[in-house]
């Protein structure tokens, strides 16, 4: 890769062209002072006052986020507010003041660093994404105690600029002046970080996980930041700027014209119907999935009902939410994924201690089966919602046959109890397996025999197959769901479902990438669950290609040696039907190929 071209993770699409401004939003160096015994309680009061002030400031930032990004995005700040309300955390900082005579700022810093090290050691992807929230709170409180103003960081930005920083917290993202800040570049962060979600909602191009950006980019350097490709070009030539501007115009034209595709049927050129469902992480995504005509919900994540809360959701709360989603998609299936949580995410008294390798530890269906109070309530809630909608249950992280059998027994048990109590509920509901481990893929024929459906979670399947942490920015280029080893497992699952007469679908991020959706269709998947914003482009792609083309490409891809070879095969085949520049800006275009336009 050229020294002028840096690679990161594109988290918010669009192209920004402007000079770089380095913003070092970091924890200031806190002097190690001790206070006299008579000053200890004064320091405790200073700490409490600072926490109150910062909490009030974050509430103001949350209100600003509601105006600029929407009310659901504003809830991102609830995590920071909960940190400031954590009495155990604050009591620990106060103990450091009283026992060691530390200043308020030093005690808060020590306690925050202790929590940060604990979260980092867990290896949890979700906790890594929350580190930016913890760091943001810590910096705000410590800077407030040291009388440092936030305004100092932004006074240097007086013209359209691209902010380059070590780590972007959601608070910084939403405070940016859109007149002067046109793009964001961060050394840390992933697609699932809160700052990435906010940048996407605000329509600001952003690239994260770009290691060494602050060192490699002198302030004032003109950049071309491409939030779609995840690239940053330093000191572009006039020709490179013209090319980037052309790409951005095409991207905007594509986004506008794709809306016309939404109402059209999802059928290939040779008449094969591909069912396109939507993935729903949070309640606000329901409307987006509806607007893009999703054929139901293929993955309804339920973790938000627990994370950032101090208590478990009640059965009634869960039943109401499941029914709400089901009734939003009348006569269409809604697939509820049971809690996919590690023990570290649970509220007391269920929370467990630190694990050396949480991704291989006590999580997902293992937690649910070991904690009947959690699992049985969720199953009952699903059964109650199933009386009003087509509700289905999907089990994550399955590695053993008995996990499915035990879950089916619980569904039967709770169905009988609800019937005996006279509650309005379904007697049973379909139970499927989320195939996201190599063990489940290899055993797909056995799992299909005892399940009602299979659905592949390609995110974890790729992570576990390739031994790559999908939250690690350093390994981003190794996270390739189109690796030959992964697509062979995908083929095994599709074949197992077909042989058993059971539906097999894909609900991971792979289905949201048009090029890879083409591969999945060729492997035999006729149902894909897609991130709502990607639905129009995936549908347009489906309408351009033939299933026969996709099968031919998949057959060749299964014989490929490397992930790059797989991409070349897909691009070569797809170029017969589609202008690859619309789907894959970095594609090496084969010569002499017909390219479909958006008007086809």
How many whole angstroms separate alpha carbon 483 and alpha carbon 315?
A: 41
- β-pairing verdict for 504-506 and 431-435: unpaired
How many whole angstroms separate alpha carbon 585 and alpha carbon 582?
A: 7
| From 194, 200, 292, 482, active-site residue | 194
C-alpha torsion sign, points 95, 97, 102, 104: positive
Q: Are 206 and 183 in contact (CB under 8 A)?
A: yes
3-state secondary structure 48-90: HHHHHHHHHHHHHHHHHHHHHCCHHHHHHHHHHHHHHCCHHHH
| From 210, 292, 482, 507, active-site residue | 507
Assess whether 507 carries a catalytic annotation.
Answer: yes
Q: Which tokens in the block code for residue 10? A: 């594109």
Planar angle of CA 146, 209, 303, nearest 5 degrees: 85
CB neighbours of 343 closer than 8 A, spacing ≥ 6?
350, 351, 352, 355, 358, 361, 362, 363, 367
CB neighbours of 564 closer than 8 A, spacing ≥ 6?
none
Residue 224 β-bridge partners:
17, 233
Planar angle of CA 230, 232, 236, nearest 5 degrees: 140
C-alpha torsion sign, points 164, 170, 172, 174: positive
Q: Are 203 and 225 in contact (CB under 8 A)?
A: no
Q: Which residues of 215-240 are buried (b: 16+ CB within 10 A; e: fewer)?
A: ebbeeebebbbbbbbbbbbbebeeee
How many whole angstroms separate alpha carbon 512 and alpha carbon 232?
A: 24
Which active-site residues does the annotation give?
194, 507
């Amino acid at each position: 890769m050229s020294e002028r071209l840096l690679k990161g993770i594109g988290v918010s699409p669009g192209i920004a062209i402007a000079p770089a401004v380095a913003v070092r939003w970091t924890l200031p160096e806190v002097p190690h002072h001790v206070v006299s015994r008579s000053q200890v309680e004064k320091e405790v009061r200073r700490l409490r006052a600072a926490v109150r002030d910062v909490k009030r400031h974050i509430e103001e930032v949350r209100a600003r986020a509601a105006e600029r990004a929407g009310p659901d995005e504003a809830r991102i700040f609830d995590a920071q507010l909960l940190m400031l309300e954590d009495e155990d955390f604050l009591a620990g900082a106060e103990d450091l003041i009283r026992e060691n005579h530390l200043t308020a700022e030093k005690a808060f810093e020590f306690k925050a660093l202790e929590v940060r090290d604990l979260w980092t050691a867990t290896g949890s992807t979700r906790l890594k994404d929350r580190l930016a929230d913890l760091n943001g709170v810590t910096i705000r409180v410590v800077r407030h105690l040291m009388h440092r103003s936030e305004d100092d960081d932004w006074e240097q930005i007086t013209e359209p600029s691209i902010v380059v920083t070590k780590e972007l917290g959601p608070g910084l993202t939403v405070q940016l002046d859109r007149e002067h800040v046109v793009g964001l570049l961060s050394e840390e962060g992933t697609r699932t970080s809160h700052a990435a979600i906010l940048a996407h909602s605000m329509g600001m191009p952003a690239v994260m996980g770009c290691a060494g950006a602050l060192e490699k980019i002198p302030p004032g350097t003109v950049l071309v930041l491409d939030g779609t490709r995840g690239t940053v070009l330093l000191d572009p030539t006039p020709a490179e700027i013209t090319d980037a501007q052309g790409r951005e115009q095409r991207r905007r034209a594509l986004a506008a014209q794709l809306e016309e595709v939404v109402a059209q049927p999802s059928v290939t050129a040779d008449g094969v119907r591909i069912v396109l469902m939507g993935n729903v992480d949070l309640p606000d995504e329901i409307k987006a999935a509806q607007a893009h005509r999703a054929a139901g919900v293929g993955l309804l994540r339920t973790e938000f009902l627990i994370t950032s809360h101090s208590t478990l959701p009640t059965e009634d709360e869960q039943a109401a939410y499941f029914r709400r989603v089901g009734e939003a998609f009348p006569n269409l299936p809604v697939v509820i994924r049971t809690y996919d949580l590690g023990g570290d995410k649970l509220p007391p008294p269920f929370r467990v201690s630190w694990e050396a390798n949480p991704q291989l530890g006590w999580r997902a269906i293992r937690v649910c089966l070991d904690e009947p109070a959690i699992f049985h309530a969720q199953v009952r809630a699903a059964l109650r919602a199933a009386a009003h909608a087509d509700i289905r249950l999907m089990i994550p992280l399955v590695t053993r046959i008995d996990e499915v059998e035990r879950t089916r027994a619980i569904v039967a048990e709770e169905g009988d109890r609800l019937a005996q109590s006279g509650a309005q509920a379904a007697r049973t509901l379909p139970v499927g397996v989320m195939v996201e481990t190599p063990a489940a893929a290899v055993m797909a024929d056995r799992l299909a025999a005892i399940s009602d459906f299979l659905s592949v979670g390609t995110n974890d399947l790729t992570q576990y197959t390739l031994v790559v942490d999908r939250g690690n920015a350093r390994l981003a280029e190794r996270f390739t769901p189109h690796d030959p080893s992964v697509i062979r497992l995908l083929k095994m699952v599709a074949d197992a479902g077909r042989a058993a007469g059971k539906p097999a679908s894909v609900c991971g991020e792979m289905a949201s990438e048009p090029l890879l959706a083409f591969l999945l269709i060729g492997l035999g998947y006729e149902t894909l669950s897609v991130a709502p914003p990607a639905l129009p482009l995936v549908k347009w792609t489906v309408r351009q290609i033939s299933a026969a083309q996709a099968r031919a490409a998949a057959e060749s891809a299964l014989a490929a040696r490397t992930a790059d070879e797989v991409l070349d095969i897909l691009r070569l085949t797809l170029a017969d039907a589609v202008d690859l520049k619309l789907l894959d800006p970095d594609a090496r275009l084969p010569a002499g190929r017909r390219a479909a336009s958006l008007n086809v």
